[in-house]
Structure formats: structure tokens, C-alpha cells
Amino acid sequence: MSRYFYYHIVLVSLLNLMLFVPHILIRYRYQGAVTSMALAVVIGTAMTFMYTYIMGKFPGLGMPEILDKFLPKMVVKPIMVFMAAMWIIGPSIALVSYAVLINRFINPDTSPVMVLILLSGVCIYAATRSTLTLAFLVEMGMLINFPIILFILLKAVRSDAINWDAIRTVANYWTQMPNLQSVGAASYIFTGYVSFAIYNRLMPPNIRIRHRWIIPISGSAILLLTFFVPIGFHGTEAVENYLYVWSVTADSLMMNYGFIERVIFMFLIMYLNLTLIYTASGWHQAIEFLKALSNSYKPSVDDVPMKRNGFIYSTVIALLTVIYLYYVNEKTTFAISGYWLSFRMFIEIGTVVTMFIFARKGTNSS
């Protein structure tokens, strides 16, 4: 069942656009974005490989159960809350920025708060389903959306309007030293594996993730597309001006013979789906972490234990997200996103290394 692993990897790597990753990288295009990307590929791949090793050691166990095995309850509980918080921030930023994006490109007259209430209402519904349902949802979402997104990306790469000189110019800046924000942003592309903190519960005992070489290849391909295609379309200088750089890039594409002429609508709707799936899956994991705080909680993949708690938690999360949008503007969201991406990278490295030690210990003792 390796494919369920790859769905998450690809989902997260495609979703980077929603978290301003291209914008952060483009801002540092002359100050080491290229080297940071190369470094991120190494870090991301190493993390993913280590994590798959850990998963294989604990089949059918989520991170709460694994931590419970090795650490005392008093230590585990704060970690759970912290992890849940990490899982809330990323998807919520994506959801908030998407609500703003809808306001900018689809419905200029509807307030983003209203749109966000709709979106988070939907995510509450989806996030409180069973873990198995979410796995199916991610699968269906990827099967429906991925071909169309791939089509848009290929269309962009093959477009006449792309200026390869601009791309080569930026690529020439490969001698600059990498910097933290760019590495943090670029390594986000590879971070899909962390979803298996919870989804590992679904994995059968004899799991082996095959074709792992896909990860560095697909990851770097998406990273390169994310970074270079907007530069090709908007040049080395003007590209920095656009906040939603990929939406504008999609708008620069045309399907002369398509039913819909403008690619941007397809692009926006596909990304709406991806954002909703990502948020639902992220919130679901946050909820599962929070549920695991209770001693009476027994994880189950196709039933929803403690349904009421799940609803309460997700409603609180959704409310926080809406309140956030109400008080915080785009500029701050952008800054927070940048810091969160770097912070996240360190937390993930810490988590993976710790779990790796546990996994070694677990095998030695048994």
C-alpha cells in the first residue's frame, strides 16, 4: 500500500504554493535560493527515508502510541498538544490564504471571513470522519486533481511565453550561500511524510514502501517548477512584485481550444480541492493527537471514537482560524508563514531523530 504514502508526499509538495513557498524562494532568488533548494532536497529526502524506516518498525501504530511506549505519560501529553498545534498552523495558514485568494480572484465582493467560515465548516465535517475515510478522500482527491494539475504545469513549461534566459540568469546565482528561510521553505516540499504520524495506523504489518527513489526526483521536479516557472513568465525582476505569484502565472496561460479559455479558473478550483483535502487531513491529525490526551482513548481506523470531542476540537480550531483571519492581515500571515516553515523544519528533524532512536531501541530490545 505504498501508494497511500505517496499520495501524502505529492499532496503536500503540490500544496506549497498555498503557503507562500514560491514567494519566499523568489524573494531570495539572488541570495541563495538555488543552493537552499539543493540543500532542502538532501534534508527532505534523508528525513523521508528515516521516517519510512521508523514506520516499518511500528506497523499500525500512530505517533501517540509509539511515544506512549517509550516515554512516561507526563512527558507525552505536552508533546501531543505541541504536535497538534503544529498540525493546526500549517493547514490553517493554507486555508486562510485560500480564503483571501478566493476573495481576490473569484468572488471579489464576498468577504474573505464569510468564505473562510464556509471552508472551515466543510473542513470540520471532513476532519471528523474516520482515519480510513480520510485516506480514501486523499486518494480520490489526488486521482481527480493530480492529472489536471500536471496538465497545467506541463502546459506552463511548454508555453512559448516562458523566457528561458531569465531562468538561466537566476540559476546562475548558484554560488550564493543558502539561508535559513529558503531552506525551511524549500524543505516543506518533502514534508508529506509527517502525515504518517497518524496515518501509520492504517498500514498493514508487512508494509514496505517501494520505489522510494521517486521521492527525491518528484520532490525536486516540483520544487524546480514551483520556483522557475514564475520566473520564466514574469522575468527576474517583476516576479517579485506578485504576492500570489502562481495564480498570476496560471492567469498568463491560455487554452485557445479549451472550453474554458482561461487556465486560472481550473487552477484555482483544483487548488481549492487540494487545500480542503490538506486542511481536512491536517486537522484530522491534530484532533487525533488531542483525543490521545484522554486515557480512555482507543485508536480505531474505521470508527470514530470520541466523536463529540472531535467535533468540539475541530470547531475550536475552525473558530481560531476565523478569528485569526479577522484580526491579522495578509502581510503578517506571510511573515508568520515564513517563520513557521523554518521552525517546522527543526521540529521535524528533532521528531524524526528521536523516533529513529526509539525505533532502534525497539528492535534491539525485542
Partner 1 sequence: MRLKGAAVVLSLLLMSTALSGCGFKDIDKRFFVVAMGIDLPDEGKGFKVTLRLAVPSPKTEPGSAMSQIETIQSQTIAEAVRLAKSHVDKELDFGHCKIFVLGEKLIKQGYNDVLEWVTRRRDVQSVSYFAIGRPDAATIVKVQPPTERYPGNALFLAFGTDGTESSYSMTAYAFDFGRRAEEQGLDPVLPLIRKEKAMENYYITRIALLDKSKMVMLLTPQETQLYNQIANHFGKSTVRSKVDNNNMVIAANSVRSHYDIVSGENGTHTLRLKLRVSGIIEEAPPGVYDQDWGKLEAGFSEQTAAEIKTMLEKIQKAGVDPFGFGLRYRATHAGSPKTWEAWQQIYPELQFDIRVKIHIEGTGLVR
Partner 2 sequence: MLNRIETIMAQAKDLNTHRIQNNTITIEVAYISSLCDESKVSDFILVPFLKDELEFQKNISLNPNFIVLTDTAKWSETLLRGFVLVQLEGTVYTLDAARVIRNENPQTQVETAIMGSQVSLSEDLIDSINIIRSRYPSPELAIEERTVGNCSRTRVSIIFDSRRVDPSVLTEVRDKIMNLEVDFLQAPGQLERLISSRKRSLFPTMMITERPDRVTSSLQAGKVILLVQGSGFALILPATFYDFMHAVDDEYDSFWMTRFLITLRYIGVILTILLPSLYIAVVSYNPELFRVQLAFSIAGSRSAVPYPSFIEVMIMLFMIESLIEASVRLPKYIGSTATTVGGLILGQAAQQAGLVSSIMIIVTSVVAISNFVVPVNNMSTAIRFLKYPLIIPAIFFGLAGVAVGIFIYIVYLADLRSFGKPYFRFIGPTKRHSGDIGQVDQA
* Binding positions for partner 1, rule: CB under 8 A: 30, 104-105, 107-111, 114, 161, 163-176, 233-239, 241, 248, 251-254, 256, 262
> To the nearest 10°, the Cα dihedral for 191, 197, 200, 205?
110
Nearer to partner 2, 144 or 217 (CB): 144
CB of 109 to partner 1, least distance (A): 3
From the list partner 1, partner 2, none, pick the one residue 175 interacts with, judged by a Cβ distance below 5 to 8 Å according to partner type: partner 1
Residue 18, amino acid = M
Q: Give, for 182, the enclosing helix (H) or strand (E).
A: helix 180-187
Closest contact distance (angstroms) between CB of 163 and partner 1 is 7
- Using the Cα atoms of residue 210, residue 213, residue 219 and residue 224 in order, give the sign of their dihedral: negative
Nearer to partner 2, 122 or 180 (CB): 122
Chain residues in the site for partner 2 (CB under 8 A) = 1-4, 59-60, 102, 106-107, 110, 114-115, 118-119, 122, 125-126, 129-130, 132-137, 139-141, 143-144, 201-208, 260-262, 265, 269, 272-273, 276-277, 280, 300-302
Q: Which does 149 bind (CB under 5 to 8 A by kind): partner 1, partner 2, none?
A: none
Least CB distance to partner 1 at residue 126 (A)? 17
Q: Which is nearer to partner 1, 107 or 294 (CB)?
A: 107
The CB-of-38 to partner 2 minimum distance in angstroms stands at 34
Alpha-carbon distance of 199 to 365, in angstroms, equals: 25
What CA–CA distance (Å, rounded) separates 61 from 149?
Answer: 33
Q: In this structure, what C-alpha cell is assigned to residue 273?
A: 480541492
Give the nearest distance from C-beta 88 to partner 2 in angstroms: 19
DSSP 193-246: GGGHHHHGGG--TT-----TTHHHHHHHHHHHHHHHHHHHHH-TTGGGG-SSHH
282: cell is 491536517
Q: Closer to partner 1 at the Cβ: 235 or 305?
A: 235
In whole angstroms, give the CA distance from residue 83 to residue 53: 21
* CB 112, min distance to partner 2, A: 11
Residue 136 binding partner per list partner 2, partner 1, none, with a CB distance cut-off of 5 to 8 Å that depends on partner kind: partner 2
Of the pair 9, 280, the CB lying nearest partner 2 is at 280
Query: Among partner 1, partner 2, none, what binds residue 166 when CB lies within 5 to 8 Å by partner kind?
Result: partner 1
Q: How far apart are CA 285 and CA 314, in angstroms?
A: 10
Q: 199 and 135 in contact (C-beta within 8 Å)? A: yes
